[in-house]
Structure 1
Amino acid sequence: MKKLINQRNFLRINAITLGSVLVLILVGSIVRVMGAGMGCPDWPKCFGSYIPPTTAEGLPENYQDIFREQRIAKNERLANMFDRFGYEKLSDQITKDPDVLVEQEFDVTKAWIEYINRLVGVLIGFLVFLNMIFSFAFRKKSFFIPLMGVLIFVLTGFQGWVGSLVVSTNLLHGFITFHMLLALLIVALLIWMNVRVRELPHYTHKPLKLISTVTLVLFIPQLILGTEVRGVIDEMLVSTIGREGWVNQLSTNFQIHRSYSWLIMIGAVISFYYARKTKEVWLVNATLGNVFLVFLAMIAGIGMVKFSFPFWLQPLHLILAVGIFSYLFYLTLRLKFQK
């Protein structure tokens, strides 16, 4: 067993887990674009079964009422919890928002799309568990490595529970945003473990460290704005408004999100400028890769507006944003201030 749990195997498990989390984020985005987020009205089952039905014939005639009542009961318990913590506005939104109570009709395609999304999530749960087990081999090197392994495992379980709330509240924007940010936290911790176990050297460069840190901090609100814009687009998916008219329906958040992207590009370019002066190959490549990802994300954003939000561009835009976050976090870890 000791021969199996070594640095090489841990790094393999860690890399596979990280890649799988990124794939799940992409799959989740595709599920939302296809309007299949509520393909299964309950959680963890799908229409009361661990395997989705293939036809509506096996469902009771009033199945929509049944699952609506189940969601209402769960939401009331959730609202009571938020009430106790003083979040009365969120509690009212969960119980009184009419959109939360809308129940979708059975659609076999959407049900199976959402079911596959959940299966991928279960697979990642097993990978995260292995990542935690293998991390204990490095407890003598650093107590924080197995601690992060345990924390990621706990956060993944918590993420599953938040996913159930996303379903229960009928894709309420706030829960979707929190769900996304939690996924990014898991990505960040997996990257931290990888860097720490490999004992990658840190490079001292005060301006570059400052620019990468500031850009990373600025990028978090940009992600939140993007998630909020995406929520408005989700609503238009089920509306009678044609895709060509979606841009006119977008809120001020969209205008801010579009202009804000230039700040991220400026930060990425300045980082590359300083990296070139260091002549450190890994640093030049990392910062150049980040500039490239920001450029592609901006092009994808422009493409969505110009071509009426084509299906394939929305998940691409999201996964590029996650890639930018990963690059920025990796750079911030590898750089340090001068003493």
Structure 2
Amino acid sequence: MKKLINQKNFLRINAITLGSVLVLILVGSIVRVMGAGMGCPDWPKCFGAYVPPNSSEALPENYQEVYKEQRIAKNERLSNVLNSLGYEKLSEKITNDPAVQVEHEFDVTKAWVEYVNRLVGVLIGFLVILNMIFSFSYRQKSVWIPTMGILIFLLTVFQGWIGSLVVSTNLLHGFITFHMLLALLMVAMLIWMNVRIRELGIYRHKWLFIIGIATTILFIPQIILGTEVRGVIDDLLVSTVSRGEWADFLSTSFFVHRSYSWLILIGAVMLFYFARKTNEPWLINTSMRLVILVFAAMVAGIIMVKGGFPVWLQPLHLILAVGIFSLLFYLTLRLRLEK
């Protein structure tokens, strides 16, 4: 058992888990682009079964009313909890917003797309458990490594519960944004474990550290703004407005999101500028990749708006953003952790 749980295997499990989370984020984006988020109206099952039905004939005649009543009952319980915690506006929105109570018709393609999304989530659950088990072999070396393994497991369970609320509230934007931020938190925690286990060294440079921290902090609001823009696009997706006219209906969040991206690009270029002076290959290469990713994400955003929001480009734009966050966080850790 000790031979099995060694640093090499632990890092392999950790890397696979991290990669799987990134894949899940990509799959989740595809689900949203296809409007398949409510392909399964219940959770964790899909239309009351562990495998989605292949035709509407397998469903009861009043299936929409049945699942609507189930969601309303769950939302009422959630609303009571939120109300007791002081979130009256959110509580009222969950219970009174007509959009939350709309029930979608069965679509076999959307059901299976959402089902695959959930299967990837289950796979990640098993990988997270393995990651936690392997982390205990490092308890004598550092108590923080197994502690992080436990926290990632608890976060995964919590994330699954939030996923059920996303379904019960009919893809309410606030829950989707929170769901996305939790996924990024999981990515950050897995990267932290990877860096800590490998005991990677740093290059001490005052300006690199300041710029890295500042750019990472600045990028969080950019992600939130992006999810707000994504919410507007989700509404347009179910409207009668053609994709070529979507740009005319974008909110203020889009214009702030677009302009804000220049701050991130400036931060990435400054990191690369100072990194070149260090003669540290890992730092130069990582910062160069960061500049490329930021520039690619900006170009993808421009093409989306000018090109009528092509379906394939929206998930790519998101995964580029996640890549930017991952590299920024990795750089920040390498700039402050000692060997």
TM-score w.r.t. the length of structure 2 is: 0.99
Which deviations, in whole Å up to 9, do the C-alpha atoms of 1:17-51 show, x marking residues without a partner? Answer: 00000000000000100010000000001111111
Which deviations, in whole Å up to 9, do the C-alpha atoms of 1:286-332 show, x marking residues without a partner? Answer: 10010000000001000101110000100000000000000000000
Matched residues in 2 for 1:331 and 1:169: separation?
37
Matched residues in 2 for 1:259 and 1:91: separation?
33
- The one-letter amino acid of 1:190's match is L
Structure 1 residue 214: Cα displacement = 0.2
Q: Which residue of 1 aligns with 2:51?
A: 51
Q: Which residue of 2 aligns with 1:293?
A: 293
Structure 1 residue 337: Cα displacement = 9.8
In structure 1, stretches of 5+ residues that fail to align are: none
- The one-letter amino acid of 1:99's match is A
Q: Which residue of 1 aligns with 2:26?
A: 26
Q: Which residue of 2 aligns with 1:67?
A: 67
Matched residues in 1 for 2:126 and 2:335: separation?
32
Q: Which residue of 1 aligns with 2:84?
A: 84
Q: Which residue of 2 aligns with 1:157?
A: 157
Matched residues in 2 for 1:235 and 1:49: separation?
29
- The one-letter amino acid of 2:46's match is C
Matched residues in 1 for 2:55 and 2:261: separation?
45
Q: Which residue of 2 aligns with 1:117?
A: 117
1:103–1:337 Cα change, 3 Å: closer
Matched residues in 2 for 1:222 and 1:31: separation?
22
Q: Which residue of 2 aligns with 1:262?
A: 262
Mapped contact 2:36–2:110 kept (Cα < 8 A): yes
Which deviations, in whole Å up to 9, do the C-alpha atoms of 1:78-109 show, x marking residues without a partner? Answer: 00000010000000010000000000000011
- The one-letter amino acid of 1:252's match is T
Matched residues in 1 for 2:248 and 2:58: separation?
43
Q: Which residue of 1 aligns with 2:313?
A: 313
Which deviations, in whole Å up to 9, do the C-alpha atoms of 1:194-217 show, x marking residues without a partner? Answer: 000000012211110000100000
Matched residues in 2 for 1:55 and 1:270: separation?
55
Which deviations, in whole Å up to 9, do the C-alpha atoms of 1:180-204 show, x marking residues without a partner? Answer: 0000000000000000000001221
Matched residues in 2 for 1:300 and 1:271: separation?
22
- The one-letter amino acid of 2:103's match is E
Matched residues in 1 for 2:48 and 2:235: separation?
26
Mapped contact 1:206–1:336 kept (Cα < 8 A): no
* Aligned CA-pair RMSD: 1.0
Q: How many residues align?
A: 338
2:189 counterpart of 1:195: no
Matched residues in 1 for 2:77 and 2:155: separation?
22
Mapped contact 1:205–1:336 kept (Cα < 8 A): no
Mapped contact 1:129–1:153 kept (Cα < 8 A): yes
Structure 1 residue 60: Cα displacement = 1.2
- The one-letter amino acid of 1:157's match is V
Matched residues in 2 for 1:289 and 1:123: separation?
29
Q: Which residue of 2 aligns with 1:220?
A: 220
- The one-letter amino acid of 2:159's match is Q
Give 3-state SS (helix, strand or coil) of 1:336's partner.
coil
Q: Which residue of 2 aligns with 1:17?
A: 17
Which deviations, in whole Å up to 9, do the C-alpha atoms of 1:137-170 show, x marking residues without a partner? Answer: 1111100000000000110011010000000000
Give 3-state SS (helix, strand or coil) of 1:309's partner.
coil
Structure 1 residue 336: Cα displacement = 3.0
Give 3-state SS (helix, strand or coil) of 2:41's partner.
coil
Matched residues in 2 for 1:337 and 1:186: separation?
19
- The one-letter amino acid of 1:11's match is L
TM-score w.r.t. the length of structure 1 is: 0.99
Matched residues in 1 for 2:152 and 2:262: separation?
33
- Equivalent positions of 1:100-249 (< 5 A) are 100-249=100-249
Mapped contact 2:201–2:337 kept (Cα < 8 A): no
Moved over 3 A (4+): none
Mapped contact 1:206–1:337 kept (Cα < 8 A): no
Matched residues in 1 for 2:59 and 2:286: separation?
53
- The one-letter amino acid of 1:166's match is V
Mapped contact 2:275–2:284 kept (Cα < 8 A): yes
In structure 2, stretches of 5+ residues that fail to align are: none
Which deviations, in whole Å up to 9, do the C-alpha atoms of 1:253-274 show, x marking residues without a partner? Answer: 0000000000000000000000
